[in-house]
Amino acid sequence: MSSLNDSIQFIQGVGPKRAEILTSELNISTIEDMLYYFPFKYIDRTKFYKISELNADLPYIQIRGKILEFNVVGNGKSKRLTARFYDETGGIELVWFKGLTWITKSYKTNVEYVIFGKPNLFNSNINISHPEIEEANIFDKSLVTSLQPQYSISEKLKSQFITSKTFRIIQENIFKNYFSLIKETIPDYLIEKLKLISLKEALFQAHFPQSPEKLKNARFRLKFEELFYIQLNLLKQKLIRKEKSKCFIFKKEKDNFTKLLFKQLPFKLTNAQIRVLGEIRTDFVSGKQMNRLLQGDVGSGKTLVALLSMLMAVDNGYQACIMAPTEILANQHYNTIIKFCKDLNITIRILTGSTKKSERKELHAKLQNNEVNILIGTHALIEDEVKFLNLGLVIIDEQHRFGVAQRARLWQKNVIEPHILVMTATPIPRTLAMTVYGDLDISVIDELPPGRKQIKTIHLFDNKRLALFGFLKKEIAAGRQVYVVFPLIKESEKLDYKDLEDGYEGYSRDFQMPEYLISVVHGKMKSAEKKIAMKIFITGKAQILISTTVIEVGVDVPNASVMVIESAERFGLSQLHQLRGRVGRGAEQSYCILMSGNKLSNEGQKRLQIMVETINGFEIADKDLELRGPGDIEGTQQSGLPFELKIADLGTDGRILQIAKYEAEKILKNDSQLQLSQNQILVYQLNKKNKNNVNWSKIS
Ligand code: ADP
Ligand code: MG
């Protein structure tokens, strides 16, 4: 009995050798894999050009005609086969650099062919190299019509003569022999409700579209299916976890929390902060473990939310900790938090790589006696010697900077896993968050504290440096401070980018002692040196801080009003946005100045343009996703997308994703265990997908 799980090698036109290449290159091993290998674009092949109309500016085109003769020209590396090809309006040359014997054997003179390829200009003549060729009478009878699928083909495949056309033939053979084996994957009620076309029809139309309309419906159905199962899986896991994860209840609200909130805080919480604290509190009293992602643009006041949450834990007799990705940031959290808590009756300690051994020992002991209520630190927190008496809440700042395993080690510090809050200021596009973090609850601080002036962003080319320095001097004269950020130090000697050292020289010529003091921080410095350099700036002794991106996350110096980003074109959008967030924290008008070389790539130009136009982190994240695709988005880079998308595109299919999520939620609401008979098809598909994709949703 044949099945869709049969090896692809049994399909006519494949065989064992090609099957092996398909598996190693494209991960296609079964017939089903092949059916789900979709074209990346479709080309109109109803249109034919006349040879007299061809020019090198045209994209892929097709012509009809006959081969007059073959010629082998050149020798050695430049040896090639050419064919004179003509129609009633003129002639061109077809060229091959490989497979010469095979070509001459396969194609004949005086037979009508359809040629498909890209016209090029060579020695002021038009030619087409390595065209796709098909006998005209076969072409006319083939399934392919106005929308011809193009499959992406790796170089390795090309060298084995596996082309887009080969794929079309394979797909055709599959549909001829296996069509009846394709089984529906979505329950009838959903198909009816969303007016989806059947899977059979969708797969067929995706590979052999009969009209643009039909293709559109097919792609919608297939994208929906893909996103729907990802959502269903994530949401189901979230449910399971919620059900089994008993956790501490922080019911009492007394002393510290109230005292800070109502007596000591010099300002009022924003509405967004209040809302988010409410969401967190609901989790704390639910009896279930909190697994929450807190997203908030830079400067939106996440630290305070974190602190108030920790106080809720402390007020209930539990310990809390917060882990930050860098020592600078951990120090800063520590300083901020002890300032806020100076009149409270709690013990707050810091633990980083540079904490002394003797101090550590004493700290370890106190943690186990509950003599330390709040611990702030870096990776040092996850070391085995760090043990708590009763850790109730773990907070991770800039969580994308930590690996999954590192984070997991923190939760395991208690027999009962503590509540977990992860925070990020790298806004993740909603579509991505819904897929990557679908198993977390998400809170968003979408409001900045009042009174902030909008940061002005300006893009300057390097030749405007004099003007830049003049402007900086004016700002410094008015008492402000300036950040200057360079791309990574000595990252690549070859690239013509100013690195920090040259940059420092440039600045120090114009900003000389004793009038000006420049502090420098970079990744290669020892942490004690870094601390000192930072301190000189934070305390206002230095007016300029030159650094690599070590200051990227979290540093808070309200008096700094200018952020200069050198070689800004080298930074990604989310990094630029993070850096910009370092200013605009005080009452003064702040500026972000993006310096770039005169020659910019299109994409570089676009990125800087986006930065100039918007300061909304979520908007920027969406644009970033459009520009770069999900694989590259910061925040997913490290963990990678936990699944492979075969047809859906998170950059453009947000609406379909929303529908998929809505439907998945609704189904689980009515049938959380998926026990209804109408939902058995879902259980079957989930099991199948989970078998193929072990780490589907193992994010947090
Ligand atoms: P984030 O970590 O979200 O980037 P921070 O927590 O560092 O932001 O907050 C930025 C600044 O705003 C800090 O100086 C903080 O004290 C201040 N802040 C926080 N909440 C408020 C508020 N409700 N009103 C005024 N200032 C606030
Ligand atoms: Mg922060």
Which atom in ligand 1 lies closest to the alpha carbon of residue 273?
23
Indicate the Cα dihedral angle 618, 622, 628, 630, nearest 10°. Answer: 90
Shortest-distance Cα residue to atom 12 of ligand 1: 301
pLDDT score for 114:
93
Q: Is 307 in the pocket of ligand 1 (CB under 6 A)?
A: no
For residue 193, pLDDT beyond 80:
yes
CA 320 – CA 392 distance, rounded (Å): 6
pLDDT tier at 399, thresholds 50, 70, 90: low
For residue 554, pLDDT beyond 60:
no
Contact criterion met (CB below 8 Å) for 537 and 546? no
Q: Express as a percent the part of the chain with pLDDT over 70.
A: 91
For ligand 1, the distance from its centroid to the CA atom of residue 458, given in whole angstroms, is: 25
pLDDT score for 551:
59
Q: What are 463-505's pLDDT values in tens digits?
A: 999 999 999 999 999 999 999 998 875 555 444 445 778 888 8
Q: Which of 132-141, 204-213, 332-341 has the lowest mean pLDDT?
A: 132-141
In a domain, 483, yes or no: yes
What is this structure's pTM? Answer: 0.66
pLDDT score for 632:
45
Which atom in ligand 1 lies closest to the alpha carbon of residue 558?
14
Q: Is 270 in the pocket of ligand 1 (CB under 6 A)?
A: yes
* Stretch 98-127: mean pLDDT: 88
- Strand ranges in 215-369 using DSSP code E only, listed in sequence order: 291-296, 319-323, 348-351
**Phi first, then psi: what are they for 594, rounded to 5°?**
-100, 110
Which atom in ligand 1 lies closest to the alpha carbon of residue 556?
7
pLDDT tier at 297, thresholds 50, 70, 90: confident
The number of the ligand nearest the C-alpha atom of 577 reads 1
Specify the CATH number for the domain of residue 401: 3.40.50.300
Q: Is 301 in the pocket of ligand 1 (CB under 6 A)?
A: yes
Q: Is 300 in the pocket of ligand 1 (CB under 6 A)?
A: yes
pLDDT tier at 601, thresholds 50, 70, 90: confident
Same domain, 392 and 482: no
Same domain, 399 and 500: no
Shortest-distance Cα residue to atom 24 of ligand 1: 449
For ligand 2, the distance from its centroid to the CA atom of residue 373, given in whole angstroms, is: 21
pLDDT score for 408:
67
Same domain, 518 and 585: yes
For ligand 2, the distance from its centroid to the CA atom of residue 526, given in whole angstroms, is: 23
Mean per-residue pLDDT over the chain, rounded: 86
Contact criterion met (CB below 8 Å) for 251 and 316? yes
* Stretch 507-531: mean pLDDT: 88
Q: Is 570 in the pocket of ligand 1 (CB under 6 A)?
A: no
Q: Is 584 in the pocket of ligand 1 (CB under 6 A)?
A: no
Q: What are 171-190's pLDDT values in tens digits?
A: 999 999 999 999 999 999 99
Shortest-distance Cα residue to atom 25 of ligand 1: 449
In a domain, 572, yes or no: yes
Q: Which of 568, 589, 614 is the last residue of a domain?
A: 614
In a domain, 595, yes or no: yes
CA 362 – CA 384 distance, rounded (Å): 15
Q: Is 302 in the pocket of ligand 1 (CB under 6 A)?
A: yes
In a domain, 178, yes or no: no
In a domain, 342, yes or no: yes
For residue 537, pLDDT beyond 80:
yes
Q: Is 295 in the pocket of ligand 1 (CB under 6 A)?
A: no
Same domain, 507 and 414: no
For ligand 1, the distance from its centroid to the CA atom of residue 83, given in whole angstroms, is: 71
Closest CA to 425 of 157, 257, 634, 178: 634
Structure tokens at 189: 């009620």
Contact criterion met (CB below 8 Å) for 388 and 366? no
For ligand 2, the distance from its centroid to the CA atom of residue 450, given in whole angstroms, is: 17
Structure tokens at 543: 């007016």
CA 693 – CA 689 distance, rounded (Å): 6
DSSP H or E stretch at residue 561: strand 560-565
Which atom in ligand 1 lies closest to the alpha carbon of residue 304?
6
Q: Is 273 in the pocket of ligand 1 (CB under 6 A)?
A: yes
Give the residue with greater pLDDT, 405 vs 700.
405
Other CB atoms within 10 A of residue 532 CB: 13
CA 684 – CA 676 distance, rounded (Å): 13
pLDDT score for 634:
43
For residue 449, pLDDT beyond 70:
yes
Same domain, 407 and 483: no
Contact criterion met (CB below 8 Å) for 364 and 353? no
What one-letter code names the amino acid at 268? Answer: K
Same domain, 469 and 603: yes
Same domain, 417 and 518: no
pLDDT score for 407:
64
Contact criterion met (CB below 8 Å) for 392 and 313? yes
Which atom in ligand 1 lies closest to the alpha carbon of residue 270?
23
Q: Is 21 in the pocket of ligand 1 (CB under 6 A)?
A: no
For ligand 1, the distance from its centroid to the CA atom of residue 267, given in whole angstroms, is: 10
Same domain, 415 and 563: no
DSSP H or E stretch at residue 235: helix 212-244
Pocket test for ligand 1, best of 269, 273, 328, 556 (most atoms within 8 A of CB): 556
Structure tokens at 71: 């010629």
Same domain, 464 and 564: yes
In a domain, 376, yes or no: yes
The number of the ligand nearest the C-alpha atom of 396 reads 2
Q: Which residues pair with 7 in a beta bridge?
A: 30
The number of the ligand nearest the C-alpha atom of 307 reads 1
For ligand 1, the distance from its centroid to the CA atom of residue 385, given in whole angstroms, is: 33
In a domain, 436, yes or no: no
Same domain, 602 and 488: yes
Q: Which residues of 114-132 are buried (b: 16+ CB within 10 A; e: fewer)?
A: bbbbebeeeeeebbbbbbb
Which whole-number Å values give the CA distances from 283 to 246, 251, 452, 459, 551, in the listed order?
Answer: 11, 11, 31, 44, 33
Shortest-distance Cα residue to atom 2 of ligand 1: 302
pLDDT tier at 633, thresholds 50, 70, 90: very low
pLDDT tier at 698, thresholds 50, 70, 90: very low
Give the residue with greater pLDDT, 598 vs 197.
197
Q: Is 261 in the pocket of ligand 1 (CB under 6 A)?
A: no
Q: Is 449 in the pocket of ligand 1 (CB under 6 A)?
A: yes
Which atom in ligand 1 lies closest to the alpha carbon of residue 302?
3
Specify the CATH number for the domain of residue 114: 2.40.50.140
For residue 638, pLDDT beyond 60:
no
pLDDT score for 639:
39
Which atom in ligand 1 lies closest to the alpha carbon of residue 303?
6
Same domain, 465 and 391: no
Other CB atoms within 10 A of residue 483 CB: 23
Q: What is the DSSP track for 352-393?
A: -TTS-HHHHHHHHHHHHTT---EEEESGGGGSTT---SSEEE
Q: Which of 583, 614, 645 is the last residue of a domain?
A: 614
Structural domain range at position 261:
255-284+301-424
For ligand 2, the distance from its centroid to the CA atom of residue 442, given in whole angstroms, is: 17
H-only helix segments in 401-553:
404-411, 430-436, 465-477, 500-510, 527-538
The number of the ligand nearest the C-alpha atom of 399 reads 2
In a domain, 158, yes or no: no
Q: Which of 92, 117, 143 is the last residue of a domain?
A: 143
Q: What are 95-105's pLDDT values in tens digits?
A: 998 888 888 89
* Stretch 289-315: mean pLDDT: 91
The domain total for the chain is: 3
Contact criterion met (CB below 8 Å) for 397 and 253? no
Same domain, 261 and 390: yes
Q: Is 503 in the pocket of ligand 1 (CB under 6 A)?
A: no
Q: Which residues pair with 126 in a beta bridge?
A: 121
Which atom in ligand 1 lies closest to the alpha carbon of residue 300?
3
Q: Which of 54-63, 108-117, 357-366, 374-383 has the lowest mean pLDDT?
A: 54-63
Contact criterion met (CB below 8 Å) for 316 and 339? no
The number of the ligand nearest the C-alpha atom of 326 reads 2
For ligand 1, the distance from its centroid to the CA atom of residue 416, given in whole angstroms, is: 32
Shortest-distance Cα residue to atom 23 of ligand 1: 269
Which whole-number Å values give the CA distances from 154 to 33, 102, 260, in the listed order?
Answer: 17, 21, 61
Tell me if the bond preceding 212 is cis, omega within 30° of 0: no
The number of the ligand nearest the C-alpha atom of 297 reads 1
Shortest-distance Cα residue to atom 9 of ligand 1: 301
